[in-house]
C-alpha cells in the first residue's frame, strides 16, 4: 500500500535529515579525534588543499539515511500490535 507524502512525513524527513547530518558530523569528528590521539597526526588535507571525500560524504550520507528513516517511520501510522 502506497501512502501519499504528507506534511507530517515531510516534517519527519526534515528532522531525520538534521539528526542524521549531526550524527554524521559527530562520527567524522570522533574518528578524527581517535586517529589524532592514536596515530599522532591529523587526518586532514595537510597543506590546506581539498578535504578528503569522507569528510563530505559521511555527513551527507548519514543525513540522507536519516531523512529516509524519518519519512518511513512517519508513514507507518499507529496500528495495534496484533495487526502488524
pLDDT at 82 over 60: no
Question: Per residue in 14-52, pLDDT tens?
Answer: 999 999 999 999 999 998 888 888 888 777 756 666 677
User: Which one has a higher pLDDT value, 7 or 47?
Assistant: 7
Question: In degrees to the nearest 10, what's the CA dihedral of 63, 67, 72, 78?
Answer: 110
- What is the structure's pLDDT at 35? 84
Q: Is 55 helix (H, G, I), strand (E, B) or coil?
A: helix
Name the one residue in this structure whose C-alpha cell is 549531526.
22
The domain segmentation of the chain, as residue ranges, is 8-43+52-74
Cell, residue 45 = 588535507
Q: Which stretches within the chain are classed as H helix?
A: 7-39, 53-75
Amino acid at each position: 500500500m502506497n501512502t501519499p507524502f504528507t506534511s507530517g512525513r515531510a516534517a519527519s524527513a526534515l528532522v531525520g535529515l538534521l539528526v542524521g547530518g549531526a550524527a554524521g558530523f559527530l562520527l567524522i569528528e570522533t574518528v578524527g579525534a581517535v586517529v589524532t590521539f592514536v596515530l599522532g597526526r591529523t587526518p586532514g588535507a595537510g597543506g590546506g588543499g581539498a578535504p578528503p571525500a569522507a569528510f563530505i560524504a559521511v555527513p551527507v550520507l548519514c543525513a540522507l539515511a536519516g531523512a529516509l528513516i524519518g519519512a518511513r517511520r512517519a508513514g507507518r501510522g499507529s496500528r495495534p500490535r496484533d495487526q502488524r
